[in-house]
Amino acid sequence: MDSNELADNPFTSENGRSRFSFRDSGEEIQSKVECCGHKTCHLDRYNLISSVKPFTSRPYTLYKVIVTTADIHGAGTSAQIYITLKGEWGSSTRQKLRKSKTILKESRLHLFPGSTHTFSVVSPDLGALQSVFIEHDSLRKSDSWLLESVQVLHPLTKKRYMFICNHWFSLYKEDGLIARELFGIRSAKTSKL
C-alpha cells in the first residue's frame, strides 16, 4: 500500500496500523500466555462457549381439550373456534379446534346446544396451566355461542384443569365479546385420561 491509499482508508492511521487496535503501537504480538498451566486458558471465550450445556427444548405434549356448550336454545355455533393455552412456562400457539378427519369429511365444526366435544392441542409442556384464551371468528348473529366450560387434561401430570365460562361469544348478545380469557378454578389428579 502506498501512502495515498493509507491516507484514504478510514480504518488505518498514518503509519499503516489499524486505528481500532487495543494494542499499544510499540507492543509486539506475543505468543499466548498460559495463565493456569494449560495450553488454552480456562477464561478463553471459546472454552466458555463449549462448556455451556446445550439448550434442551421442552418435550411436546398432546393436551386433551374438552369443550362443553350450554344446553339452551340457540347456544350452538358453526364458527371456527381457536384456543391458546397459557401456563407457568409459557403459552401455546393459537390453534384451531378441529374434529378428527376420520370421523366426518365435513370441514365445518358444529357445536350443538348441550354437546361436549374433545379436541387435541399439541404444544411444548406449559407446566401448570393458568388460563385458556378462547375465541371464534364469526360475525353472524346465528353463530352466537354460549360456552359453558373448558377442561384441559395434561397427560404427563394426569391433572385436569377446569375453566368455567357461562358467557356468550357474540357481537349481538351480552357484552359483545367474541374472545375471552378463562382462568382455572381447580386442578385435580385424574385416574384415567
pLDDT of residue 59: 80
The size of the chain, in residues, is 193
List of residues 6+ apart from 23 with CB closer than 8 A: 29
Domains contained in the chain, CATH given: 60-189 (2.60.60.20)
Q: Is the Cβ–Cβ distance between 180 and 167 less than 8 Å?
A: yes
Indicate the DSSP class of residue 133.
E
> What's the pLDDT tens digit per position in 5-56?
555 655 555 555 555 545 555 544 454 455 555 555 555 554 554 444 444 4
- Which helix (H) or strand (E) element contains residue 45? helix 45-51
| Cell digits of residue 134 | 378462547
Q: How sure is the predictor about 123, in pLDDT bands with cuts at 50, 70 and 90?
A: very high
pTM score of the predicted model: 0.64
> What's the pLDDT tens digit per position in 53-99?
444 466 889 999 999 999 999 999 989 999 999 999 899 999 999 87
- Dihedral through CA 127, CA 131, CA 135, CA 141, nearest 10? 150
pLDDT of residue 193: 44
Q: Is the Cβ–Cβ distance between 3 and 16 less than 8 Å?
A: no
> What's the pLDDT tens digit per position in 136-189?
988 888 889 999 999 999 988 899 999 999 999 999 998 999 999 999 876 555
